[in-house]
Structure 1
Amino acid sequence: MSSIVAAPRKTSEARERLLSIASELFYREGIHGVGMDRVLAEAHVTRATMYRHFPGKEALVVAYLEREDADIRSRFTDAEQQVPDDATGTDRVDALIALIADDIERHHTRGCPFINAAAEFPDASSDVRRVVRRHREWFRDSLRSMLEGAGVAEPDEVAGSLVMLRDAALVGGYLDGVEVARPAFVATARLVAHR
């Protein structure tokens, strides 16, 4: 009996262009504020091409959030690998706090894409909200695991506090400017984590 091996999935240039343009517009201007006609025009793809890859706008939003999730996970992995093996627990926690602060300053200057999407999709059972929930669970679990590895007392409680501080800093960075939000986040996160 022979086994069938699936060929690697070929990435469509049109799909990637559509997702890239949609991601930029959704984050910058809001999901409901951007019509599909505009996304299609700026991505230079037809409606038929869009439907070949995404059954509708909500599926495109899900793909946008999954892309955001993958990017954040990748940055976390890269940051973890850059911490020296002999780093102290305090150094590890400070590196984690700096990673979150860098994200607020460099990548998510208009707030959290997951919070923004959740505000626009109030139905908690929607596919969009499921992606948001998965991301937040992963983020909290990753923080807890890193904090536990750094020897932080009560890593569950500290992780929960850091999630809340990050949420606030992302919103504050957008509303008040990163020059206000970043130092406040770093100082407060250090107090919480190093207590």
Structure 2
Amino acid sequence: MSSQPDSASPVASPGRPPSAARERLLRTAAALFYRDGVRAVGVDRVVAEAAVTRATFYRHFPGKDDLVVAYLRAADGAVREHAGEPPGGADEARAWLRATTRELGRTVCGAGFRGCPFINAAAEYPDPTSAVRVAVLEHRAWLEGAVRTAFARSGHPDAAGAARHWMALRDGAMVAAYLTDPQVARASLEHGVDDLLAQAPGG
């Protein structure tokens, strides 16, 4: 996934690109957080591996949690950009759901996969009021909403229920792929979505 600028964190003036140092901090943090865990990676390590000063870090991020939120929002932005909006036609909406599911399957089978970055972050930030947890929930709300729209446009008789089912399949595949056989998790995910789409006319 490609990183996207986080509009909620301090950046350059409107109309100017974000600084190279900020982008380097964000890329470095994203790799470290995903590989080693958010709590295990401190500001000093991010600063050292990004080759910037602490003053530069704090010029862009008031604290570590702000960096974590920016990391999650960048991941969210990348998913949204890649997925796009569900199309309006029934056949196109079904194709969007299958393509989104196949992309998820490729992700869980990819080298270095360590689970869902949003689920991982939520596990490390149990306080539901924390900015990190809010960023996780915002992503999940968008994703479930997009899937619900696609099921509705496909003609599914219970789009909301199908979207919740899809999210459960997605979460299960993310966890199972990391803990067990990713190919089995991928196949189970895709079969489950085929079953959901079979409930829609023309599915």
Give TM-score, length-normalised by structure 2: 0.84
Counterparts of 1:117 and 1:162, CA distance in 2: 21
2:66 counterpart of 1:62: no
Change (3 A) 1:56 1:92: closer
Alignment correspondent of 2:115: 111
- Larger displacement relative to structure 2 (32-41 or 88-97): 88-97
In structure 2, how many angstroms separate the alpha carbons of the residues matched to 1:133 and 1:107?
26
C-alpha displacement at 1:175, in angstroms? 1.0
2: distance between equivalents of 1:55 and 1:28? 23
- Contact 1:93 1:150 (8 Å CA) reproduced: no
Does residue 1:141 correspond to 2:145, yes or no? yes
- Aligned position for 1:29: 36
Equivalent residues, number:
187
Structure 1 residue runs without a partner (length 5+): 1-5
1:52-85: CA deviation from partner (whole Å, max 9, x where unpaired) = 000010000000000000011011118x57x9x7
State which of 9, 21, 41 in structure 1 corresponds to 2:16.
9
- 1:44 is matched with 51
Q: 1:32-181, aligned counterparts within 5 Å?
A: 32-77=39-84, 87=91, 90-106=94-110, 109-181=113-185
SS of 1:111's partner is coil
- Distance in 1 of aligned mates of 2:111 and 2:65: 23
What is the TM-score with the length of structure 1 in the denominator? 0.87
- State the identity as a percent: 41
* Stretch moving more, 50-59 or 102-111: 102-111
Mapped partners of 2:14, 2:97: distance in 1: 42
SS in 2 for 1:162: helix
RMSD: 2.3
Q: Provide closer, same or farther for how the CA distance between residues 52 and 181 of structure 1 changes in structure 2, counting only shifts above 3 A.
A: same
Aligned to 2:7: none
Q: In structure 2, what is the Cα distance between the partners aligned to 1:146 and 1:86?
A: 8
- 1:27-50 Cα deviation digits (max 9, x unpaired): 111001112211111100111000
Q: Distance in 2 between matches of 1:130 and 1:103?
A: 24
The AA in structure 2 aligned to 1:71 is A
Q: Distance in 1 between matches of 2:112 and 2:152?
A: 27
In the aligned structure 2, how far is the partner of 1:108 from the partner of 1:162?
A: 24
- Cα distance in structure 1, aligned partners of 2:169 and 2:188: 9
CA distance in 2: counterparts of 1:76 and 1:45, whole angstroms? 33
Q: What residue ranges of structure 2 are gaps of 5+ in the alignment? A: 1-12
Distance 1:147 1:86, change over 3 A: closer
Bigger mean CA offset, 32-41 vs 87-96: 87-96
Tell me which protein shows more helix as a share of its residues.
1
| In 2, Cα distance between equivalents of 1:7 and 1:60 | 20
